[in-house]
Chains A and B, each alone.
Chain A
Amino acid sequence: MIEFTLWDIVRNLLLAARWTVLLSLAAFVGGAAVGMAVLFFRISKNKWSRRVASGYIALFQGTPLLMQLFLMFFGLPMLGLRIEPWTAAVLGLTFFASAYLAEIWRSGVDALPLGQWDAGASLGLHYLQELRLIILPQAFSITRAPTVGFLVQLIKSTALTSIIGFEELVRTSNAINNATFEPFKVYGLVALIFFAMCFPLTQYARSLEKRAAAR
Protein backbone atom coordinates (compact mmCIF):
# COMPACT_ATOMS: atom_id res chain seq x y z
CA MET A 1 0.00 0.00 0.00
CA ILE A 2 1.22 3.47 -0.89
CA GLU A 3 1.25 6.14 1.81
CA PHE A 4 -0.72 9.24 0.92
CA THR A 5 -0.22 12.41 2.89
CA LEU A 6 -3.08 14.88 3.09
CA TRP A 7 -1.20 17.12 0.68
CA ASP A 8 -0.88 14.26 -1.84
CA ILE A 9 -4.63 13.77 -1.75
CA VAL A 10 -5.40 17.47 -2.07
CA ARG A 11 -2.87 17.97 -4.86
CA ASN A 12 -4.22 15.07 -6.91
CA LEU A 13 -7.79 16.22 -6.40
CA LEU A 14 -6.93 19.76 -7.46
CA LEU A 15 -5.18 18.44 -10.56
CA ALA A 16 -8.29 16.42 -11.41
CA ALA A 17 -10.49 19.46 -10.80
CA ARG A 18 -8.93 21.03 -13.90
CA TRP A 19 -10.87 18.51 -15.98
CA THR A 20 -14.07 19.31 -14.14
CA VAL A 21 -13.58 23.00 -14.93
CA LEU A 22 -12.64 22.34 -18.55
CA LEU A 23 -15.59 20.00 -19.08
CA SER A 24 -17.99 22.49 -17.50
CA LEU A 25 -16.73 25.26 -19.77
CA ALA A 26 -16.89 23.10 -22.90
CA ALA A 27 -20.40 21.93 -22.05
CA PHE A 28 -21.55 25.47 -21.28
CA VAL A 29 -20.18 26.89 -24.53
CA GLY A 30 -21.50 23.95 -26.56
CA GLY A 31 -24.81 24.02 -24.72
CA ALA A 32 -25.19 27.74 -25.36
CA ALA A 33 -24.56 27.29 -29.10
CA VAL A 34 -26.94 24.33 -29.51
CA GLY A 35 -29.40 25.91 -27.07
CA MET A 36 -29.53 29.02 -29.24
CA ALA A 37 -30.49 26.86 -32.22
CA VAL A 38 -33.16 25.11 -30.14
CA LEU A 39 -34.41 28.53 -29.01
CA PHE A 40 -34.84 29.63 -32.64
CA PHE A 41 -36.95 26.54 -33.32
CA ARG A 42 -38.86 27.01 -30.07
CA ILE A 43 -39.96 30.59 -30.82
CA SER A 44 -40.35 30.17 -34.57
CA LYS A 45 -43.64 31.07 -36.26
CA ASN A 46 -43.86 27.56 -37.69
CA LYS A 47 -46.00 25.30 -35.53
CA TRP A 48 -44.06 22.15 -36.38
CA SER A 49 -40.65 23.54 -35.57
CA ARG A 50 -42.04 24.77 -32.24
CA ARG A 51 -43.31 21.26 -31.56
CA VAL A 52 -40.02 19.62 -32.44
CA ALA A 53 -38.17 21.98 -30.08
CA SER A 54 -40.69 21.36 -27.27
CA GLY A 55 -40.27 17.62 -27.74
CA TYR A 56 -36.48 17.97 -27.64
CA ILE A 57 -36.66 19.97 -24.41
CA ALA A 58 -39.19 17.59 -22.81
CA LEU A 59 -37.02 14.62 -23.73
CA PHE A 60 -33.89 16.00 -22.09
CA GLN A 61 -35.71 17.42 -19.08
CA GLY A 62 -37.78 14.25 -18.58
CA THR A 63 -35.01 11.65 -18.55
CA PRO A 64 -32.01 11.21 -16.25
CA LEU A 65 -28.74 12.76 -17.43
CA LEU A 66 -27.04 9.47 -16.52
CA MET A 67 -29.19 7.64 -19.12
CA GLN A 68 -28.33 10.29 -21.71
CA LEU A 69 -24.65 9.76 -21.00
CA PHE A 70 -25.00 5.98 -21.19
CA LEU A 71 -26.80 6.22 -24.53
CA MET A 72 -24.06 8.50 -25.81
CA PHE A 73 -21.18 6.39 -24.52
CA PHE A 74 -22.52 2.86 -25.06
CA GLY A 75 -25.04 3.63 -27.78
CA LEU A 76 -22.99 5.50 -30.39
CA PRO A 77 -20.38 2.70 -30.74
CA MET A 78 -23.24 0.40 -31.75
CA LEU A 79 -24.02 2.79 -34.57
CA GLY A 80 -20.40 2.37 -35.67
CA LEU A 81 -18.97 5.49 -33.99
CA ARG A 82 -16.17 4.83 -31.56
CA ILE A 83 -16.26 7.39 -28.81
CA GLU A 84 -13.92 8.38 -25.99
CA PRO A 85 -15.25 9.16 -22.50
CA TRP A 86 -14.21 12.81 -23.01
CA THR A 87 -16.17 13.13 -26.27
CA ALA A 88 -19.19 11.35 -24.80
CA ALA A 89 -19.05 13.58 -21.73
CA VAL A 90 -18.85 16.81 -23.74
CA LEU A 91 -21.56 15.75 -26.21
CA GLY A 92 -23.88 14.42 -23.51
CA LEU A 93 -23.58 17.51 -21.31
CA THR A 94 -23.86 19.81 -24.35
CA PHE A 95 -27.24 18.37 -25.39
CA PHE A 96 -28.41 18.34 -21.76
CA ALA A 97 -27.38 21.97 -21.28
CA SER A 98 -28.87 23.08 -24.61
CA ALA A 99 -32.35 21.92 -23.58
CA TYR A 100 -32.23 23.76 -20.25
CA LEU A 101 -30.66 26.94 -21.64
CA ALA A 102 -33.17 27.08 -24.52
CA GLU A 103 -36.00 26.82 -22.01
CA ILE A 104 -34.52 29.48 -19.71
CA TRP A 105 -34.01 31.93 -22.57
CA ARG A 106 -37.45 31.19 -23.98
CA SER A 107 -38.93 32.31 -20.68
CA GLY A 108 -37.05 35.58 -21.23
CA VAL A 109 -38.49 35.98 -24.73
CA ASP A 110 -41.98 35.26 -23.40
CA ALA A 111 -41.55 37.86 -20.69
CA LEU A 112 -41.10 40.65 -23.23
CA PRO A 113 -44.20 42.67 -24.08
CA LEU A 114 -45.52 41.99 -27.59
CA GLY A 115 -45.11 45.69 -28.29
CA GLN A 116 -41.38 45.06 -28.61
CA TRP A 117 -42.01 42.90 -31.68
CA ASP A 118 -44.50 45.39 -33.11
CA ALA A 119 -42.09 48.25 -32.58
CA GLY A 120 -39.39 46.31 -34.44
CA ALA A 121 -41.76 45.60 -37.31
CA SER A 122 -42.85 49.23 -37.52
CA LEU A 123 -39.20 50.23 -37.82
CA GLY A 124 -39.07 48.06 -40.93
CA LEU A 125 -36.88 45.33 -39.43
CA HIS A 126 -37.34 41.82 -40.69
CA TYR A 127 -37.70 38.80 -38.38
CA LEU A 128 -34.01 37.99 -37.89
CA GLN A 129 -33.10 41.63 -37.32
CA GLU A 130 -35.87 41.96 -34.76
CA LEU A 131 -34.50 38.94 -32.94
CA ARG A 132 -30.90 40.03 -33.10
CA LEU A 133 -31.36 43.71 -32.31
CA ILE A 134 -34.42 43.85 -30.04
CA ILE A 135 -35.68 40.56 -28.66
CA LEU A 136 -32.62 38.43 -27.86
CA PRO A 137 -30.50 41.10 -26.10
CA GLN A 138 -33.39 41.85 -23.75
CA ALA A 139 -34.26 38.17 -23.26
CA PHE A 140 -30.64 37.35 -22.38
CA SER A 141 -30.29 40.25 -20.01
CA ILE A 142 -33.40 39.39 -17.98
CA THR A 143 -32.45 35.69 -17.76
CA ARG A 144 -28.89 36.26 -16.62
CA ALA A 145 -29.54 35.02 -13.07
CA PRO A 146 -31.11 31.67 -14.03
CA THR A 147 -28.40 31.19 -16.67
CA VAL A 148 -25.67 31.50 -14.04
CA GLY A 149 -27.77 29.29 -11.77
CA PHE A 150 -27.84 26.64 -14.46
CA LEU A 151 -24.06 26.86 -14.82
CA VAL A 152 -23.84 25.76 -11.17
CA GLN A 153 -26.11 22.82 -11.95
CA LEU A 154 -23.93 21.96 -14.96
CA ILE A 155 -20.72 21.98 -12.90
CA LYS A 156 -22.34 19.60 -10.41
CA SER A 157 -23.59 17.41 -13.26
CA THR A 158 -20.04 16.82 -14.52
CA ALA A 159 -19.71 14.46 -11.53
CA LEU A 160 -21.83 11.94 -13.45
CA THR A 161 -19.26 11.64 -16.23
CA SER A 162 -17.08 9.73 -13.74
CA ILE A 163 -19.52 6.85 -14.22
CA ILE A 164 -18.74 6.55 -17.95
CA GLY A 165 -15.03 6.66 -17.15
CA PHE A 166 -14.08 10.29 -17.66
CA GLU A 167 -11.18 11.15 -15.34
CA GLU A 168 -12.53 14.17 -13.51
CA LEU A 169 -12.73 15.03 -9.84
CA VAL A 170 -15.07 12.27 -8.66
CA ARG A 171 -13.40 9.46 -10.61
CA THR A 172 -10.01 10.48 -9.28
CA SER A 173 -11.42 10.62 -5.76
CA ASN A 174 -12.78 7.08 -6.16
CA ALA A 175 -9.29 5.90 -7.10
CA ILE A 176 -7.68 7.76 -4.19
CA ASN A 177 -10.32 6.38 -1.83
CA ASN A 178 -9.55 2.84 -2.99
CA ALA A 179 -5.89 3.40 -2.19
CA THR A 180 -6.24 5.26 1.12
CA PHE A 181 -9.48 3.84 2.61
CA GLU A 182 -10.32 7.27 3.94
CA PRO A 183 -13.69 7.98 2.33
CA PHE A 184 -14.71 10.54 4.94
CA LYS A 185 -11.68 12.69 4.22
CA VAL A 186 -11.56 12.12 0.45
CA TYR A 187 -15.25 12.74 -0.35
CA GLY A 188 -15.32 15.57 2.16
CA LEU A 189 -12.49 17.25 0.27
CA VAL A 190 -14.23 16.64 -3.06
CA ALA A 191 -17.37 18.26 -1.71
CA LEU A 192 -15.26 21.19 -0.53
CA ILE A 193 -13.67 21.66 -3.96
CA PHE A 194 -17.06 21.56 -5.70
CA PHE A 195 -18.38 24.01 -3.12
CA ALA A 196 -15.46 26.37 -3.80
CA MET A 197 -16.30 26.30 -7.51
CA CYS A 198 -20.08 26.62 -7.19
CA PHE A 199 -20.65 28.89 -4.20
CA PRO A 200 -19.25 32.10 -5.78
CA LEU A 201 -21.45 31.50 -8.82
CA THR A 202 -24.50 30.90 -6.63
CA GLN A 203 -23.82 34.17 -4.84
CA TYR A 204 -23.35 35.94 -8.17
CA ALA A 205 -26.67 34.54 -9.45
CA ARG A 206 -28.32 35.73 -6.26
CA SER A 207 -26.97 39.26 -6.61
CA LEU A 208 -28.10 39.35 -10.26
CA GLU A 209 -31.55 38.26 -9.12
CA LYS A 210 -31.68 41.03 -6.50
CA ARG A 211 -30.58 43.60 -9.02
CA ALA A 212 -33.24 42.42 -11.45
CA ALA A 213 -35.91 42.56 -8.75
CA ALA A 214 -34.88 46.08 -7.76
CA ARG A 215 -35.29 47.36 -11.30
Chain B
Amino acid sequence: MAFAWLPGAVGDIAHGAVTTILLIAVTTLAGTLLSILGAAGRRNGPVLLKRAIAWYVEVMRNTPFLVQLFFIFFGLPSLGIRLDPILAAMLAMTLNMAAYTIEIVGAGLDAVPPGQTEAALALGLRPRQVFIKIVLPQALKIIYPALTSQIVIMMLESAVVSQIAVRELTYEADMLQARTFRSFETYFVVTLVYLALSMALRRLLVTGGRRALGAGVS
Protein backbone atom coordinates (compact mmCIF):
# COMPACT_ATOMS: atom_id res chain seq x y z
CA MET B 1 0.00 0.00 0.00
CA ALA B 2 1.35 3.37 -0.99
CA PHE B 3 -0.78 6.49 -0.97
CA ALA B 4 1.99 9.01 -1.64
CA TRP B 5 0.37 9.87 -4.99
CA LEU B 6 -2.84 10.92 -3.32
CA PRO B 7 -2.10 14.61 -2.48
CA GLY B 8 -1.30 15.32 -6.15
CA ALA B 9 -4.42 13.50 -7.31
CA VAL B 10 -7.00 15.26 -5.16
CA GLY B 11 -7.70 17.83 -7.89
CA ASP B 12 -8.34 15.16 -10.52
CA ILE B 13 -10.59 13.16 -8.22
CA ALA B 14 -12.53 16.28 -7.27
CA HIS B 15 -12.92 17.20 -10.95
CA GLY B 16 -14.22 13.73 -11.71
CA ALA B 17 -16.61 13.86 -8.76
CA VAL B 18 -18.02 17.20 -9.96
CA THR B 19 -18.71 15.70 -13.40
CA THR B 20 -20.39 12.68 -11.79
CA ILE B 21 -22.56 15.03 -9.71
CA LEU B 22 -23.42 17.07 -12.81
CA LEU B 23 -24.41 13.89 -14.67
CA ILE B 24 -26.71 12.75 -11.91
CA ALA B 25 -28.23 16.20 -11.39
CA VAL B 26 -29.20 16.47 -15.07
CA THR B 27 -30.41 12.86 -15.14
CA THR B 28 -32.52 13.29 -12.02
CA LEU B 29 -34.29 16.39 -13.32
CA ALA B 30 -34.74 15.27 -16.93
CA GLY B 31 -35.48 11.65 -16.00
CA THR B 32 -38.12 12.54 -13.42
CA LEU B 33 -39.81 14.99 -15.78
CA LEU B 34 -39.76 12.47 -18.62
CA SER B 35 -41.16 9.74 -16.41
CA ILE B 36 -44.02 11.95 -15.21
CA LEU B 37 -44.91 12.62 -18.86
CA GLY B 38 -44.46 8.92 -19.65
CA ALA B 39 -46.57 7.71 -16.74
CA ALA B 40 -49.33 10.22 -17.54
CA GLY B 41 -49.23 9.29 -21.23
CA ARG B 42 -49.38 5.61 -20.39
CA ARG B 43 -52.57 6.18 -18.43
CA ASN B 44 -54.39 8.82 -20.45
CA GLY B 45 -52.81 8.90 -23.91
CA PRO B 46 -54.06 7.40 -27.19
CA VAL B 47 -53.69 3.61 -27.54
CA LEU B 48 -50.69 3.84 -29.82
CA LEU B 49 -48.80 6.06 -27.38
CA LYS B 50 -49.68 3.75 -24.49
CA ARG B 51 -48.31 0.77 -26.38
CA ALA B 52 -45.16 2.63 -27.44
CA ILE B 53 -44.41 3.66 -23.86
CA ALA B 54 -45.00 0.12 -22.60
CA TRP B 55 -42.51 -1.25 -25.14
CA TYR B 56 -40.00 1.45 -24.40
CA VAL B 57 -40.08 0.50 -20.72
CA GLU B 58 -39.69 -3.21 -21.47
CA VAL B 59 -36.79 -2.75 -23.89
CA MET B 60 -34.85 -0.41 -21.59
CA ARG B 61 -35.41 -2.56 -18.52
CA ASN B 62 -34.32 -5.76 -20.21
CA THR B 63 -31.07 -4.60 -21.80
CA PRO B 64 -27.81 -3.52 -20.11
CA PHE B 65 -27.12 0.18 -19.65
CA LEU B 66 -23.67 -0.31 -21.18
CA VAL B 67 -25.22 -1.58 -24.43
CA GLN B 68 -27.68 1.33 -24.49
CA LEU B 69 -24.78 3.72 -24.02
CA PHE B 70 -22.77 2.15 -26.86
CA PHE B 71 -25.83 2.12 -29.07
CA ILE B 72 -26.40 5.83 -28.53
CA PHE B 73 -22.75 6.89 -28.72
CA PHE B 74 -21.50 4.62 -31.52
CA GLY B 75 -24.75 3.75 -33.26
CA LEU B 76 -26.54 7.07 -33.64
CA PRO B 77 -23.78 8.70 -35.76
CA SER B 78 -24.69 6.28 -38.56
CA LEU B 79 -28.10 7.99 -38.59
CA GLY B 80 -26.29 11.31 -38.78
CA ILE B 81 -26.73 12.17 -35.08
CA ARG B 82 -23.31 12.75 -33.57
CA LEU B 83 -23.24 13.53 -29.85
CA ASP B 84 -20.55 14.75 -27.49
CA PRO B 85 -19.54 12.03 -25.01
CA ILE B 86 -21.04 13.97 -22.12
CA LEU B 87 -24.29 14.62 -24.01
CA ALA B 88 -24.49 10.98 -25.03
CA ALA B 89 -23.95 9.99 -21.40
CA MET B 90 -26.67 12.35 -20.17
CA LEU B 91 -29.08 11.13 -22.84
CA ALA B 92 -28.40 7.45 -22.12
CA MET B 93 -28.69 7.91 -18.34
CA THR B 94 -31.91 9.93 -18.66
CA LEU B 95 -33.54 7.44 -21.03
CA ASN B 96 -32.48 4.52 -18.84
CA MET B 97 -33.66 6.09 -15.61
CA ALA B 98 -36.99 7.15 -17.12
CA ALA B 99 -37.80 3.54 -18.00
CA TYR B 100 -37.57 2.57 -14.33
CA THR B 101 -39.21 5.68 -12.93
CA ILE B 102 -42.16 5.55 -15.38
CA GLU B 103 -43.18 2.38 -13.54
CA ILE B 104 -42.51 3.96 -10.16
CA VAL B 105 -44.40 7.20 -10.90
CA GLY B 106 -47.21 5.18 -12.46
CA ALA B 107 -47.58 3.12 -9.30
CA GLY B 108 -47.80 6.36 -7.34
CA LEU B 109 -50.49 7.78 -9.64
CA ASP B 110 -52.51 4.59 -9.24
CA ALA B 111 -52.18 4.80 -5.47
CA VAL B 112 -53.85 8.21 -5.20
CA PRO B 113 -57.53 7.55 -4.43
CA PRO B 114 -59.85 8.48 -7.35
CA GLY B 115 -61.93 10.50 -4.89
CA GLN B 116 -59.17 13.11 -4.92
CA THR B 117 -59.63 13.67 -8.65
CA GLU B 118 -63.41 13.70 -8.36
CA ALA B 119 -63.32 16.21 -5.52
CA ALA B 120 -60.95 18.50 -7.42
CA LEU B 121 -63.08 18.32 -10.58
CA ALA B 122 -66.17 19.06 -8.53
CA LEU B 123 -64.41 22.17 -7.23
CA GLY B 124 -64.13 23.33 -10.84
CA LEU B 125 -60.43 22.66 -11.50
CA ARG B 126 -59.49 21.78 -15.06
CA PRO B 127 -58.11 18.23 -15.64
CA ARG B 128 -54.55 19.49 -16.12
CA GLN B 129 -54.72 21.49 -12.90
CA VAL B 130 -56.09 18.46 -11.11
CA PHE B 131 -53.12 16.40 -12.28
CA ILE B 132 -50.42 18.96 -11.46
CA LYS B 133 -51.82 20.37 -8.23
CA ILE B 134 -53.70 17.48 -6.64
CA VAL B 135 -52.70 14.07 -7.97
CA LEU B 136 -48.99 14.49 -8.77
CA PRO B 137 -47.82 15.90 -5.41
CA GLN B 138 -49.57 13.08 -3.55
CA ALA B 139 -48.17 10.48 -5.95
CA LEU B 140 -44.64 11.85 -5.59
CA LYS B 141 -44.91 11.70 -1.84
CA ILE B 142 -45.93 8.04 -1.97
CA ILE B 143 -43.16 6.99 -4.34
CA TYR B 144 -40.42 9.24 -3.01
CA PRO B 145 -38.37 6.49 -1.30
CA ALA B 146 -38.40 4.36 -4.47
CA LEU B 147 -37.48 7.37 -6.57
CA THR B 148 -34.58 8.15 -4.23
CA SER B 149 -33.22 4.60 -4.52
CA GLN B 150 -33.45 4.76 -8.30
CA ILE B 151 -31.50 8.03 -8.40
CA VAL B 152 -28.73 6.54 -6.24
CA ILE B 153 -28.63 3.40 -8.42
CA MET B 154 -28.30 5.64 -11.47
CA MET B 155 -25.38 7.51 -9.93
CA LEU B 156 -23.58 4.21 -9.37
CA GLU B 157 -24.34 3.12 -12.93
CA SER B 158 -22.82 6.35 -14.21
CA ALA B 159 -19.37 4.80 -13.60
CA VAL B 160 -19.88 3.03 -16.92
CA VAL B 161 -19.89 6.24 -18.98
CA SER B 162 -16.10 6.39 -18.46
CA GLN B 163 -16.10 3.86 -21.32
CA ILE B 164 -17.03 6.56 -23.83
CA ALA B 165 -14.37 8.89 -22.37
CA VAL B 166 -16.56 11.13 -20.24
CA ARG B 167 -14.15 12.56 -17.71
CA GLU B 168 -16.08 11.58 -14.60
CA LEU B 169 -14.86 9.86 -11.45
CA THR B 170 -14.12 6.43 -12.93
CA TYR B 171 -12.36 7.91 -15.95
CA GLU B 172 -10.11 9.96 -13.67
CA ALA B 173 -9.40 6.83 -11.64
CA ASP B 174 -8.37 4.99 -14.82
CA MET B 175 -6.04 7.83 -15.78
CA LEU B 176 -4.58 8.01 -12.26
CA GLN B 177 -3.80 4.33 -11.99
CA ALA B 178 -2.22 4.35 -15.44
CA ARG B 179 0.03 7.19 -14.31
CA THR B 180 0.89 6.01 -10.81
CA PHE B 181 0.85 2.20 -11.28
CA ARG B 182 -0.99 2.03 -7.94
CA SER B 183 -4.19 0.49 -9.27
CA PHE B 184 -5.43 -1.08 -6.03
CA GLU B 185 -4.96 2.09 -3.99
CA THR B 186 -6.47 4.30 -6.69
CA TYR B 187 -9.61 2.21 -7.12
CA PHE B 188 -9.85 1.76 -3.36
CA VAL B 189 -9.85 5.52 -2.72
CA VAL B 190 -12.24 6.23 -5.59
CA THR B 191 -14.59 3.48 -4.37
CA LEU B 192 -14.67 5.24 -1.00
CA VAL B 193 -15.43 8.53 -2.76
CA TYR B 194 -18.38 6.84 -4.51
CA LEU B 195 -19.57 5.43 -1.19
CA ALA B 196 -19.43 8.89 0.38
CA LEU B 197 -21.21 10.41 -2.63
CA SER B 198 -24.03 7.86 -2.59
CA MET B 199 -24.53 8.29 1.16
CA ALA B 200 -24.52 12.08 0.83
CA LEU B 201 -26.88 11.96 -2.16
CA ARG B 202 -29.33 9.76 -0.26
CA ARG B 203 -29.30 12.12 2.73
CA LEU B 204 -29.67 15.18 0.50
CA LEU B 205 -32.63 13.64 -1.30
CA VAL B 206 -34.37 12.70 1.94
CA THR B 207 -33.99 16.15 3.53
CA GLY B 208 -34.75 17.89 0.22
CA GLY B 209 -37.83 15.72 -0.23
CA ARG B 210 -39.07 16.50 3.28
CA ARG B 211 -38.75 20.18 2.59
CA ALA B 212 -40.41 20.06 -0.85
CA LEU B 213 -43.14 17.48 -0.24
CA GLY B 214 -43.74 17.98 3.44
CA ALA B 215 -43.37 15.68 6.44
CA GLY B 216 -44.04 11.99 6.15
CA VAL B 217 -41.45 11.47 3.44
CA SER B 218 -38.99 8.83 4.52
Contacts and interface: CB of A to CB of B under 8 A. Distances in A.
Q: Is B one of A's binding partners?
A: yes
Interface of A: 59, 62-68, 70-71, 74-75, 78-79, 152, 156-160, 162-163, 170, 173-174, 177, 182-184, 187-188, 190-191, 194-195, 198-199, 202
Interface in B132-155: 152
B66 A152 contact: no
Contacts of B64: 156-160, 170, 194
Interface of B is mostly: helix
B191 A63 contact: yes
Nearest to A75: B184
A152 B100 CA distance: 14
A67 B187 contact: yes
Contact of A71 (B74, B158, B187, B198): B187
B4 interface: no
B191 A67 contact: yes
A160 B163 CA distance: 10
B63 interface: yes
B61 interface: yes
A66 B159 contact: yes
B184 A79 contact: yes
B160 A160 contact: yes
Contacts of B160: 64, 66, 160, 163
Contacts, number: 120
Contact of B184 (A78, A174, A183, A184): A78
B194 A62 contact: yes
A177 B74 contact: yes
Contacts of A74: 177, 183-184, 187
Contact of A64 (B59, B74, B157, B183): B157
A163 B163 CA distance: 8
B187 A194 contact: no
B183 A187 contact: no
B212 interface: no
B171 to A, nearest CB: 11
A160 B198 CA distance: 20
Contacts of A152: 61-62
A187 B71 contact: yes
A99 B203 CA distance: 21
B70 interface: yes
A158 B190 CA distance: 22
Contacts of A78: 183-184
A195 B71 CA distance: 14
25 contacts: A62-B194, A62-B199, A64-B156, A65-B156, A65-B159, A66-B159, A66-B170, A67-B159, A67-B170, A67-B173, A75-B184, A156-B63, A159-B65, A159-B67, A162-B66, A182-B78, A183-B70, A183-B71, A183-B77, A184-B79, A187-B70, A190-B67, A199-B58, A202-B61, A202-B62
A68 B170 CA distance: 12
Contacts of B58: 195, 199, 202
A66 B168 CA distance: 13
Contact of A191 (B71, B77, B199): B71
A103 B11 CA distance: 36
